[in-house]
Structure 1
Amino acid sequence: MNRYTLVRTALASSRRPAVSAIRSPAAAVPSGARQLSAVRNARAATPCGLATAKIQPSVFNSRHFTTSRSASQTVYKQEEIRQYSLTHPEEFWMEAAKEIDWIEQPTRAMVTPDPAKPHKVSWFPDGKLNVCYNALDRHVQSGRADQTALIYDSPVTGSVRKYTYGQLLERVKQAATMLRRSGVSKGDRVLIYMGAVPEAIVAMLACARLGAIHSVVFGGFASNELAKRIEDCQPKVILASSCGVENKDKIVPYKPLLDGALEVCRSRPAKVVVLQRPQLVVPLNEGEVSWAEAVDAIEDNELYHGFETVSSDDPLYILYTSGTTGQPKGVVRPSGSHAVVLKYTMERMYACAPGKVYWSASDLGWILGHSYICYGPLINGSTTVLFEGKPVGTPDPSAFYRVLDQHKVNTFFTAPTAMMILRREDPHAEYRKKYNLSHVKAMFLAGERCLPEIHRWWVRHVTGVDDTGKVVHEIVGPVNNVASDNWWQTETGSPLVGIQVGLSENGSEIPPIKYGSAGMPVQGVDLRVLRIKDEFDEDTEIDHSPEEATRGEIGNIVLKLPLPPGIMNTLWNDEERFFSAYFKRFPGYYDTGDTGMIDQDGYVHILSRADDIINVAAHRISTSSLEEVIVEHNEVAETCVVARPHSIKGSVPVVIAVLKHHRLDHTLDEIKNDLVREIRQRVGPFASLYPHNVIFVERLPKTRSGKVLRKMIRSMISKLAMDGNSPDVCPIPTPATIEEEVVKDELWNAVRGWIKTSPQE
């Protein structure tokens, strides 16, 4: 018996009795639980669990892959594993699937049902499971009932609450009982509009328990956009909060926004349940009920203890992302493959073992909240932190450092924008000095490209390593306090590119961090860069003969089919759009919509969205390459570069910059001239940045997840530059995801003033 099997045997023997063994009478136990009991009993005799999988441990166990070095190159363990996963996908992913508890174990890793549709891959097609069971029940049964599962830290309400796995399971059962009484069953949709509160996670897991499909819409979403999502997914039940709390002085009422959405919806839910937060108790309409009455009041003897068996390809959730047509795209996440990949990445990518604390500083309404606040940490048996606050203002720039220290966070995940905000408000990281962060093993940045200077600033002040001027950060000695970028999308659900910090405790076996790069491709990802062709600039075109770019050449980032597990398998109610948006343009590939390059060392650089490329006199320039230079100026906190139409060159860049909150050592004109000079020297004169195209503003418009609203800014500049008309009220539509609408008005006034004094181009 090999060591891997011995580990599985130990895990199997340490688990508590199966569900069916602790429920009485037997007739009340659902079929899914009885089947899972049989599977778990079989595992006691055959610990590896999959009778058909004859896999050697070296296929999956990272200890059996090594980093190899020669005079000409180093091949890291991460790349060894990735190559194996591409050449032996069946063996690799069947082994990965063993880390999930299946009700009916899969006998195949993947099939392509229709060869004419290579983008439609079914992962673990005959497998059946329950995701909520994997997130809660199995941990309670294996001895983690008293371990903290969820820490709710809310500086805006002044509260911290902790829930053990046992307590969280009971609350989920209460919510599932309520949903079941409301007529919700497998395949029904439930819309969740609650914000960053524990009840939102409870609601998500309760839906998964019943096989219902949840759709989380972040709190505060405008009525018209909320209505679009209600109309599209037609939820049987809506779960909402009365309000959101931005800070101690700002309450955002949610219920009026929901009422406004329902007024214009043709499809209405059978039931609306409202969590009445003490900060704002709202009157309920006829047929509506409070969470306290509908959920909290359910007694133990009334609980529904069962769970629904779902197929691997059955939807776990719908997550809407903005679409270019104005109609949101409902990304559908398959249950089984998503669970497998989340479990794999929690330890190998994010270096978070069961029992350790994982904190993603995000909103539950975004993909990060789904994958790595709710499901990933809980499926892994870790402790997850749900933070209701912001990097500054709740109450000051110490918020992140305080949470990291107080809750002994092992792995931290946030957006580069949060780092920019901290750098702007606290450039010398004085607040950080008050806290001990030595226990933080790994820190990850994602959401948009992390500019090298921002990354170096974080490393310097958080880890104490000064990499000023350096391109590469070597991981020396034991892996600890590592800060890495990574890249993925709502559509993919988990990382495509990164540094897999959890593959070794030895820093020499981990690829060095390269500033400006998201890392290297991970398991199952066959990432390519396709050459940009002038004749295929429009998204509606099809490139029947795509050409791969050379190393260092900027092009379209794509994934060669078949796609790895866990990625969306359709768009809700729109299979045609699913194909045309992602697979039509480059046959045989998934089009990420991003541009970038692979450098000579194999690192992937994600530079910008395809529409963030500026064409200046036939020179294609990534806005990110300009922003990288600009943000290194010691007076600039953050920036956004967009295109301005030019009569001769086609386009030229416009820089919109936010200055740091401290006394300036230079005049504004001096800063403008500095930026122009640096761009000319480091990017080239062809970039055509002129001093009059540098605009200083107080802040940039952003989404609730911290992404700069670049499309809106581009639209403003184009409108003003081409029309010559500057109305008092901004004519550009307000994005549904904007955090503060007033920032849009501030920016419009700033660019209106700029265009009046700017030379005609």
Structure 2
Amino acid sequence: MSYPFQIKTKEQYDRAYKKSVEDPEGFWGEVAGSFYWRKRWDKVLDWNFKDPDIKWFRGGKMNITENCLDRHLGTMGNKPAIIWESNDPEEHHRILTYRDLHHKVVQFANVLKNNGVKKGDRVCIYMGMVPELAVSVLACARIGAVHSVIFGGFSAQSIADRLQDAQAEFIITCDGAYRGNKEIPLKSVIDDALVQCRFVKKVIVVTLTRMPVSMIKGRDVWWEDEIKKVETMGNPDCPAEEMDAEDPLFILYTSGSTGKPKGVVHTCAGYMVYTTYSFVNVFQYTPGDIHFCTADIGWITGHSYIAYGPLCAGATTVLFEGVPTWPDAGRFWDIVDKYKVNVLYTAPTAIRSLMSYGLGPVQSHDLSSLKVLGSVGEPINEEAWHWLNENIGKGNCPVVDTWWQTETGGIMISNLAGVTPSKPSFATLPLPGIQPILVDETGKEIEGNNVSGNLCIKFPWPSIIRTTYGDHERCRTNYFAAYPNLYFTGDGCMRDENGFYRITGRVDDVLNVSGHRIGTAEVENAINMHAGVIESAVVGYPHDIKGQGIYAYVIYGSTHGDENLTRQDIAQTVARIIGAIAKPDKIQFVTGLPKTRSGKIMRRILRKIAEGETENLGDTSTLLDPGVVEEIKNGKI
């Protein structure tokens, strides 16, 4: 398969970027022409950032699974589409060719239809990293159902919140999942969530761990039994549903600066075009390469660069069930060596964790197949960049430091591997079609180089967020209201003397923990649910492994008794309400919080104390009780 839109030289990048800015409709129309359409679009783009109202490829008809699967069958039917590596290295792996994957998707699409799922229905997917997860996502897309994948580490309450928001009446899950040396009881967590969600009609359960589960008559069915029913019908075909370019493809929930998660909606055509375009160009994918993205499909990275982007490009993508440090810290390198991986795309958190084990786990493996290394989730620090470059890439593999968000759908700012320049800890240059600008607090553009400001984008790209599910006003206020006619990323950014961009971190009340965004309000709400807690404030602080840790200041009502036990109780409360990923790393008990006379918590002061800065805290004279700051400083953990 060839990619007419692949950029191979810096000169080609410059030309493509210039065209994408001067004639965006012509540029993206050409790129979209490489895909299979039932009906071509009438107009490439209609947009305004005021409402916002953005439509790409208006009038176009297509189905993303025909581009992921059907169009490859004639020339690449026997090529591996998915290589699945199980949690246990002693177990057999599975390889699904494009023909195998197409067959399984068609089969399961019929299962969904047999169980009452229709075009436009929302389907919640809560599974381990098994091939059935990819099959489920694609089967939903094939029949026009809107999938909402929830990461397998979220709690019952988090699932219930998301089910209620999406009014998802169908669920696909596993009995349990393996993750390192743990067994996660997925079906049991779903059962707890469904106590609050009586509207759910069907739960389809994959047998994986064989742990005991409760199966409710009329609601719960086994995946394997439903597949047999389709087989007894002679495995009928399931033609792909014709979708409008702007029909929703999926909802993916992300933390916001309020306690309620927001459902980011991506649509069929623009997302397809942009994820494939960015995949091929950033990683310089060559047909036949083995692409290994270590993310979970529960996050946007897995959606875009394990599933849709690689499959639309006819790539071979590795799906890994386990964790990088189990049964030992050589697990990633085992997989690279075993499958001769060419592209490795992982998170700075994973890299920093593996660095702590030294070079022993690396040196016993052959990593010579690697051609490109990628980083995602947060800016990669220089030390981790150099370790990855020198010890994993042996100085021969370009490192792509990719900046993007759930809301952007695909990589926005990154060097293109071996084509455009790289610089440690810099995302560097925008992809063609992406027009970043820096603005000050008032929204005035900051021009020139060697400057810093808030990162905005001034023109839409095909995979831009269309809405937040069921609450379009929230989409407007979160992303388009801060600065008129701009998409506000929520990130601070600097631009160096070469015009390279470096992300400096969130400027709103959202933390970036291990590459995942968690709202401070969401964590505070969970802490405040604990019986003894009166009030709390949460900030981020530098963490050697996670990038950013969660530091909680807690006003506790009664005497603590054993403070450490109380801390564990509070952390457990957060884990039950949100999930283990949101547990505070440090909990400091305080008698008060620094508040203005209007009652606003001055998180700026708390953040500086958590970061170890105790001198330059700014003016505290306007606080209701300035004395509380000294107490907090003296009690810092």
TM-score, normalisation: structure 1: 0.69
Task: Give the aligned partner of residue 405 of structure 1.
Answer: 337
Task: Give the aligned partner of residue 80 of structure 1.
Answer: 15
* Aligned partner of residue 273 in structure 2, secondary structure: helix
The separation in 1 between residues aligned to 2:633 and 2:482, in whole angstroms, is: 39
The separation in 1 between residues aligned to 2:59 and 2:22, in whole angstroms, is: 22
In structure 2, relative to structure 1, the CA distance for the partners of 1:217 and 1:655 (3 Å cut) is closer
Question: Percent identity of the aligned residues?
Answer: 33
Which runs of 5 or more structure 2 residues have no equivalent in the other structure?
Answer: 515-538, 592-609, 613-629
* Aligned partner of residue 105 in structure 1, secondary structure: coil
1:3-22 aligned within 5 A: none
The separation in 1 between residues aligned to 2:252 and 2:139, in whole angstroms, is: 17
Deviations 1:599-657 (A, max 9, x none): 1101100011004899xxxxxxx999xxxxxxxxxxxxxxxxxxxxxxxxxxxx99665
Query: Which of the numbers 556, 566, 575 marks the counterpart of 1:729?
Result: 566
In structure 2, relative to structure 1, the CA distance for the partners of 1:362 and 1:62 (3 Å cut) is closer
- Cα deviation for residue 118 of structure 1 reads 6.6
Deviations 1:283-321 (A, max 9, x none): 311221111111255217142331100011111100011
Say whether the 8 Å CA contact 1:105–1:128 is kept in structure 2.
yes
Task: Give the aligned partner of residue 179 of structure 1.
Answer: 112
Query: Which of the numbers 178, 187, 207 marks the counterpart of 1:255?
Result: 187
In structure 2, relative to structure 1, the CA distance for the partners of 1:294 and 1:157 (3 Å cut) is farther
In structure 2, relative to structure 1, the CA distance for the partners of 1:117 and 1:524 (3 Å cut) is same
Task: Give the aligned partner of residue 278 of structure 1.
Answer: 209
Query: Which of the numbers 25, 31, 37 marks the counterpart of 1:96?
Result: 31
- Cα deviation for residue 720 of structure 1 reads 7.0
The separation in 2 between residues aligned to 1:357 and 1:116, in whole angstroms, is: 39
The separation in 1 between residues aligned to 2:151 and 2:221, in whole angstroms, is: 21
The separation in 2 between residues aligned to 1:488 and 1:740, in whole angstroms, is: 21
Say whether the 8 Å CA contact 2:169–2:200 is kept in structure 1.
yes
In structure 2, relative to structure 1, the CA distance for the partners of 1:310 and 1:598 (3 Å cut) is same
Task: Give the aligned partner of residue 515 of structure 1.
Answer: 424
Task: Give the aligned partner of residue 489 of structure 1.
Answer: 405
Say whether the 8 Å CA contact 1:346–1:353 is kept in structure 2.
no
* Aligned partner of residue 566 in structure 2, secondary structure: coil
Say whether the 8 Å CA contact 1:276–1:282 is kept in structure 2.
no
- Structure exhibiting the larger radius of gyration computed from Cα positions: 1
The separation in 2 between residues aligned to 1:488 and 1:109, in whole angstroms, is: 23
Which runs of 5 or more structure 1 residues have no equivalent in the other structure?
Answer: 1-6, 12-56, 68-75, 466-479, 502-506, 533-542, 615-621, 625-652, 659-699, 701-706
- Cα deviation for residue 233 of structure 1 reads 1.1
Query: Which of the numbers 409, 414, 430 marks the counterpart of 2:360?
Result: 430
The separation in 1 between residues aligned to 2:247 and 2:540, in whole angstroms, is: 46
The separation in 2 between residues aligned to 1:656 and 1:486, in whole angstroms, is: 20
Pairwise CA RMSD: 3.3
- Cα deviation for residue 257 of structure 1 reads 1.0
In structure 2, relative to structure 1, the CA distance for the partners of 1:121 and 1:280 (3 Å cut) is same
The separation in 2 between residues aligned to 1:384 and 1:609, in whole angstroms, is: 31
- Cα deviation for residue 739 of structure 1 reads 4.0
In structure 2, relative to structure 1, the CA distance for the partners of 1:343 and 1:406 (3 Å cut) is same
1:597-608 aligned within 5 A: 597-608=494-505
In structure 2, relative to structure 1, the CA distance for the partners of 1:487 and 1:176 (3 Å cut) is same
The separation in 2 between residues aligned to 1:336 and 1:104, in whole angstroms, is: 12
- Cα deviation for residue 390 of structure 1 reads 1.3
Task: Give the letter aligned to residue 364 of structure 1.
Answer: I
1:536-575 aligned within 5 A: 543=442, 546-548=444-446, 550-560=448-458, 562-575=459-472
Say whether the 8 Å CA contact 1:353–1:380 is kept in structure 2.
no
- Cα deviation for residue 236 of structure 1 reads 2.9
* Aligned partner of residue 402 in structure 1, secondary structure: helix
- Cα deviation for residue 553 of structure 1 reads 2.4
Say whether the 8 Å CA contact 2:82–2:95 is kept in structure 1.
yes
Say whether the 8 Å CA contact 1:355–1:383 is kept in structure 2.
yes
* Aligned partner of residue 356 in structure 2, secondary structure: helix
Q: Larger relative contact order (C-alpha < 8 A, sep ≥ 6)?
A: 2
In structure 2, relative to structure 1, the CA distance for the partners of 1:131 and 1:623 (3 Å cut) is closer
* Aligned partner of residue 32 in structure 2, secondary structure: helix
Query: Which of the numbers 148, 163, 173 marks the counterpart of 2:80?
Result: 148
The separation in 2 between residues aligned to 1:556 and 1:275, in whole angstroms, is: 45
The separation in 1 between residues aligned to 2:285 and 2:578, in whole angstroms, is: 31
Task: Give the aligned partner of residue 200 of structure 2.
Answer: 269
Deviations 1:587-606 (A, max 9, x none): 01101000011111011000
The separation in 1 between residues aligned to 2:450 and 2:54, in whole angstroms, is: 31
Task: Give the aligned partner of residue 251 of structure 2.
Answer: 318
Query: Which of the numbers 372, 375, 384 marks the counterpart of 1:442?
Result: 372
Task: Give the letter aligned to residue 485 of structure 2.
Answer: G
Deviations 1:518-548 (A, max 9, x none): 121111111011123xxxxxxxxxx4x5232
Say whether the 8 Å CA contact 1:176–1:304 is kept in structure 2.
no
Say whether the 8 Å CA contact 2:20–2:27 is kept in structure 1.
yes
In structure 2, relative to structure 1, the CA distance for the partners of 1:760 and 1:280 (3 Å cut) is closer
Matched, 1:344 2:277: yes
Matched, 1:609 2:484: no
Which stretch shifts more, 96-105 or 151-160? 151-160
The separation in 2 between residues aligned to 1:724 and 1:458, in whole angstroms, is: 48
Deviations 1:247-271 (A, max 9, x none): 24x2111112111111012x52221
Task: Give the letter aligned to residue 434 of structure 1.
Answer: S
* Aligned partner of residue 234 in structure 2, secondary structure: helix
Task: Give the aligned partner of residue 529 of structure 2.
Answer: none
In structure 2, relative to structure 1, the CA distance for the partners of 1:297 and 1:167 (3 Å cut) is farther
1:608-687 aligned within 5 A: 608-611=505-508
Task: Give the aligned partner of residue 587 of structure 1.
Answer: 484
TM-score, normalisation: structure 2: 0.82
Say whether the 8 Å CA contact 1:608–1:623 is kept in structure 2.
no
Deviations 1:494-533 (A, max 9, x none): 11100112xxxxx5xx23321120121111111011123x
In structure 2, relative to structure 1, the CA distance for the partners of 1:655 and 1:106 (3 Å cut) is closer
The separation in 2 between residues aligned to 1:96 and 1:170, in whole angstroms, is: 29
The separation in 2 between residues aligned to 1:77 and 1:325, in whole angstroms, is: 43
Task: Give the letter aligned to residue 437 of structure 1.
Answer: L
Say whether the 8 Å CA contact 1:414–1:444 is kept in structure 2.
yes
In the alignment of these two chains, the number of paired residues is 568
Which stretch shifts more, 155-164 or 379-388? 155-164
* Aligned partner of residue 431 in structure 1, secondary structure: helix
Say whether the 8 Å CA contact 2:255–2:510 is kept in structure 1.
no
* Aligned partner of residue 18 in structure 2, secondary structure: helix
In structure 2, relative to structure 1, the CA distance for the partners of 1:271 and 1:759 (3 Å cut) is closer
